[in-house]
């Protein structure tokens, strides 16, 4: 957990305790954590990465009701980052990178030591559907 996450958990715990409510550490740590929020330049969409118990997925909300829905369907805490969310100029396509940056030796992060190492992907995802189609990044 990074510093800001720890700080927010600590503050939430202090506030909750001051209000006299009881809770477990598991309840605090299991709540989803949103980050990388971006807004589309047109069409009014907003998107963000959500980390729920280590499983990262991209969520999007659209006008007029802004009900959040999940665009990606990753199901495991595989340690792969989702980052660089970028909407197309018309706001209909969302691009993102899956995987971390290469180190000095050119190795992509492989925290699970998978037999087939991951690659960094930049994947377009239509904001109007729940499908994404990865394409290799250059």
Q: Where are the domains of the chain?
A: 1-31, 32-136
Nearest to residue 81, comparing CAs of 94, 96, 95, 98?
98
* Single pTM value for the model: 0.67
When pLDDT is averaged across residues 102-116 and rounded to a whole number, the result is: 77
Out of 2-11, 44-53, 97-106, least confident range: 2-11
pLDDT of 135 reads 31
Q: Which range among 17-21, 59-63, 92-96, 128-132 shows the weakest confidence by mean pLDDT?
A: 128-132
């Amino acid at each position: 957990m990074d510093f800001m996450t720890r700080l927010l958990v600590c503050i939430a715990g202090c506030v909750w305790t001051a209000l006299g409510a009881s809770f477990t550490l598991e309840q605090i740590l299991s709540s989803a954590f949103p980050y990388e929020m971006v807004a589309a330049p047109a069409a009014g969409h907003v998107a963000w990465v959500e980390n729920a118990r280590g499983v990262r997925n991209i969520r999007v909300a659209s006008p007029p009701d802004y009900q959040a829905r999940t665009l990606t369907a990753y199901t495991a805490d595989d340690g792969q980052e989702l980052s660089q969310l970028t909407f197309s100029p018309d706001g209909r396509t969302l691009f993102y990178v899956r995987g971390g940056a290469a180190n000095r030796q050119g190795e992509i992060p492989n925290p699970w030591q998978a037999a087939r190492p991951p690659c960094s992907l930049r994947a377009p995802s239509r904001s109007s559907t729940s499908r994404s189609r990865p394409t290799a990044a250059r």
